[in-house]
Amino acid sequence: MIRLALFVIVLGLAMLLGPVLANHPGYVMIVVAGVTIEATFVGLILVILGGGLAWWGLWWLLKRLFHFPRISFSFLRSRKERRARQALQQGVLAFARQDWQNAHQLFEIAKSEPLWDKARLTMASYSALRAGEFAKANQRAAELDPDDPDTSLLLADLWLAQGDALKAVAVLTPKIAAEPKNQPLGRSYLAALQQAGQWQTLLEQVPQALKYQWFSKVLWAQHRYQVYPQAISALAQQGLFDEQASYWQNLSAKERKSVAATLGKVWAMAVSGQVEQAEKLLLETLALADLPLAWNVIQQIPLGRSVLQLRKQIQHWLRDHSNNAYLYAMLSYCAAQEGEAEQAAASWQKALQYQPELVAIGSQAKA
């Protein structure tokens, strides 16, 4: 539509000015070193345009045939400006290498075209943050447009990294209300709510997260285990979890009946002392295929000595899946709950034989 409007405007000007220039083409005379050049003004303009176009076409052809280097006019810039532009390039490379200290120092003297200022300031802020220079990171972020959603995302990351999740929530709440389809903002908002311990608001945001696909289906299947167990158990310990509340009923039946949500209820029961009921509910829900994602949550649930039936179920699965590392990890968990430290250590070592990375997973969950 814009191209059509421009075409109509150009055509109108040509129809308006064409007859005028045809009847009054103007006159130009140039005398240089005894040589006189006479032409109409319109003819001279056409010759200049035609000569420029011919030169550009010839240069384009020669570059393709002989691979001539690109002409640079950087020599016209001052030495200080050239160093600043080179610092930008080196800073971007350092950022890509995750050399935060060097990147932070280079961005301090870097200079870019106005079009790249947003990217430069954003990378400068992130690199300063990673280098531990919080004041510099906040200073660079303050130079960005406060109304830009990307600036809000950066500010939220800065507050979260500095341990002030409430300020991150305050920054993101109005932005996510105005732009609910912004997926990066949505993911950051959920992380801020979780870190701030605002569990009810977190559960209230889940339908919106699913509607606007803040996570892919695969990622959400994993992220459930970071949302529901902690939210449900925390709300239950505060006496605030209610399955009839709107924040729970607004969730789909699939979400309410998911293994991740059930683990939250199991966790809440165990903390409240209902360990036998918690173990029963866990056995009714848990399947062998759920263990890789559920393991991080299960090992945080304090079932105590009420793990007899769970241990039997794990041993039953081991008959057909003797090389499953998560089953040995579960045996280690059961032994630890019953106070059998040596058996727990032996089962854990067995789990590591089949899946060494369980060391990181286990330590992360226990932390």
Average pLDDT of the chain, as a whole number: 87
Spatial distance between the Cα atoms of 87 and 108, rounded to a whole number of angstroms: 9
- 308-367 has CATH 1.20.1070 classification: no
Residue 74 has a pLDDT of 52
What pLDDT band is residue 76 in, cutting at 50, 70 and 90?
very low
Q: Would you say residue 364 has pLDDT above 70?
A: no
Contact predicate 189/176, CB 8 Å: yes
What pLDDT band is residue 208 in, cutting at 50, 70 and 90?
very high
Reading the block at residue 7, the tokens are 């075409």
What pLDDT band is residue 106 in, cutting at 50, 70 and 90?
confident
Spatial distance between the Cα atoms of 182 and 165, rounded to a whole number of angstroms: 20
Residue 360 has a pLDDT of 41
Q: Please tell me whether residue 221 adopts helix, strand or coil conformation.
A: helix
Reading the block at residue 289, the tokens are 């295929």
pTM: 0.74
DSSP state of 307: -
Spatial distance between the Cα atoms of 29 and 36, rounded to a whole number of angstroms: 7
Q: How many CB atoms lie within 10 A of CB 347?
A: 22
Residue 285 has a pLDDT of 94
What pLDDT band is residue 343 in, cutting at 50, 70 and 90?
very high
Point out the least confidently predicted range of 32-41, 261-270, 280-289, 319-328.
Answer: 32-41
Report CA torsion sign: 211, 216, 219, 221.
positive
Reading the block at residue 323, the tokens are 């090389």
Q: What's the rounded mean pLDDT across residues 279-303?
A: 94
Percent of the chain with pLDDT over 90: 62
| Residue 262 buriedness (CB in 10 A; 0-12 / 13-18 / 19+) | buried
pLDDT tens-digit readout, 122-177 = 999 999 999 999 999 999 999 999 999 999 999 999 999 999 999 999 999 999 99
